[in-house]
Structure 1
Amino acid sequence: MRIEDFDLELPQELIAQEPVHPRDHCRLMVVYPDGKMEHRYFYNLIEYLSPGDVLVLNNTRVRPYRLRGVKTTGANIEILLTRRLSDRVWEALANPSRRLHLGTEVLFDKGLKCKTIQVREGGWRILEFNEEVESYLDELGEVPLPPYIHRKVKEEDYQTIFARVNGSVAAPTAGIHFTDELLERIEAKGVEILYVTLHVGPGTFLPVRVEEIEKHYVLPEEIEVTEETAERINRARSRGGKIVAVGTTVVRTLESVAEEDGRVKSYKGKTDLYIYPGYKFKVIDRLVTNFHLPKSSLIILVSAFRNREIIMNAYREAIRLGYRFYSLGDAMLLY
């Protein structure tokens, strides 16, 4: 399939610039396997869950991995830390990347500084700091927002209420819509709520640059599924419960650790699973997700879960009805 098959014209005014309050009052489009649609609100999600189902959430937390500094020449530069290689050495992206040559030094507040020790293709840099970096992040760093959000957003509005495990450069945004009250009501209905971890990496911001989608790849990301979570998912499936993934990160995590018969294994490590049409899902029955960027690996994934024609038709209807798109926008339930 070609990447143009996943393109559509999205009016700029539909790209959400601020969250909805309360969180669960965003709109929810429900899409059935035959393409039929219902238009609800997120707090209605509970009506589509049954006792014995399992709702799986990603408990990663976004860290303030964006640092603003100056070169010794006085030029401003922005650093996005993407992967810790050791206490003082990090993989990073720079903006503008052309300013970070081998040996370039960048100065930050509080005496923190770094030097470029390796230049890689695609704008990647390896930076060595003069101090251990993590202890500086809460004071000097900023939570990285997607480039299409142009307004200042409070950090708590870009975290899920169940964010616990530090490590992401972007939020698993399908989970942002949940409130404590909604989760309590879902649990009281007899739905089991479980957590996995996928630390969202910088690949979430990178476009698909190939014409044939089968040739695309995604960058590895850290995941964890505990033994207890795996066992509880397997027990629920054996009883006939549906596995409802909240977000594409949960889909990729669970599908990465599932056997061919759908049994889930515990695992801690990396995944580079790329899901595109033709993929045979092993464990996921339902998907809660946001409205994604055209021509992205995320819209390709949801098109694999529910065929491309149905998804693109749903997106066109969402545009016609003024749904809000992307990270801070409205939600979709693929039932």
Structure 2
Amino acid sequence: MVNNKTVAFVVAIGFIFLNLSGHCYGALQFGFYNGKCRGSDVEDIVRKTVLSKFLVDRTITPALLRMQFHDCFVNGCDASILLDGTNSEKTAPPNLSVRGYDVIDAVKTAVERVCPDVVSCADIIVMATRDAVSLSGGGRYNVQTGRRDGRVSLAKDAQILPSPSSSVSSAIQAFATKGLTATDMIYLLGGHTIGIAHCSFFQDRLYNFENSGKPDPTMDLALLTSLRRTCPRNATVDGKANLDQNSFSSAVVDKSFYTQIMLRRGVLQIDQELAVDGLSKSTVAAIAGSSDFTTKFGQAMVKLGGTHVLTGTQGEIRKSCRSVNSQTLMALVNG
């Protein structure tokens, strides 16, 4: 059995290994697994497994959306966020509240049963997220597959994840480093149309915005009053609030989020700034007034899913999404 210290060592050595060999980013394909699994429909297996989880817990949709974003934004969409280890990405502060690992594990078990050593964990994240979004009313978009799983997972790499208090300009710059435009960023933050944020992520906006001793003046007064009840100043429990403050659609993937932030009812600072910053407010208004949000959101998710992927002979197909394969482990440790 490999202990956690060995895993931490392996992912660190893997970092050196991959830098020596170099990344190879090839083209993904729609229907990559067609004909590769003894007649089994891989995407249908994923869909049915996600559905079984969704019927028990509908909050898996925002959980998986967040997981895909946090995975793809750090060293590309390679399922590195799934790897266990004492110093893996999972242990980084921005990822401590990431969840949904049980969903990915269940899908991996299901596909391995009929199609062993073929379907990557990186592809499972993307397919499972798509299916969860569809189940939450977001429309079903086609995803490209053919990714391979990375061997590197280091907590320090997650430091590049944008903060909830990021400015619009800094968020645009961060997304640009991933080949994503300002419009892509605005659509992807539309994932906040579903899910919650804990008080600790926006408490300063309620009581001491930018060390002013006062609340954020851009926040709607009724929302401020409501959030202060949810998040008392000296609370011992970290409460939570819906990111979409429209109570009728807070569990639905739709454009309501944009309408809410235009009404100054954004919970996170970055969300509210989208509606008032000159770099983004016209796009927000256009989305709020459009009828094609779900289509454009799906397109942005597909683009995110193509960020710096490993294909071909790079990476591996993990047997367990939580650990690198044993032969990889031996190769890395033994040099």
Could you say whether these structures have the same fold, taking a TM-score greater than 0.5 normalized by the shorter chain as the test? no
Q: Normalized per residue, which structure has more strand? A: 1
Q: Normalized per residue, which structure has more helix? A: 2
TM-score (norm 2): 0.25
TM-score (norm 1): 0.25
